[in-house]
């Protein structure tokens, strides 16, 4: 997570958004803190959205059948 956190502020929106998704995937407390800190300085609305999505605790349903409903 420490290696990814600086990339949250990358001026390339694709890099920053990918970093946000990776940090969210790791689901570590320090990653959550880094995402929250990065939101106000997000370089674009797309990056801000990726950061917010990465913080969402239930991105996918636990039961695969729920996705088919």
- Per-residue pLDDT, averaged over 1-25, amounts to 94
**Are residues 53 and 34 in contact, defined by beta-carbon separation less than 8 angstroms?**
no
Asked whether the predicted pLDDT for residue 61 surpasses 80, the reply is: no
Half-sphere exposure of 67 (CA within 13 A, CB side): 7
pTM: 0.79
In this prediction, residue 27 carries a pLDDT of 87
In this prediction, residue 50 carries a pLDDT of 94
Pick the more confident residue, 66 or 29: 29
Mean pLDDT score of the chain: 86
Q: What is the DSSP code string of the chain?
A: -TTTGGGGG-SSHHHHHHHHHHHHHHT-HHHHHHHHHHGGG-SSHHHHHHHHHHH-S-SS-SSGGGGG-
In this prediction, residue 63 carries a pLDDT of 53
């Amino acid at each position: 997570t420490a290696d990814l956190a600086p990339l949250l502020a990358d001026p390339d929106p694709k890099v920053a958004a990918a970093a946000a998704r990776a940090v969210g995937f790791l689901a570590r407390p320090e990653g959550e803190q880094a995402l929250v800190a990065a939101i106000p300085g997000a370089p674009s609305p797309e990056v801000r959205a990726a950061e917010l999505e990465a913080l969402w605790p239930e991105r996918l349903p636990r039961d695969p059948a729920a996705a088919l409903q």
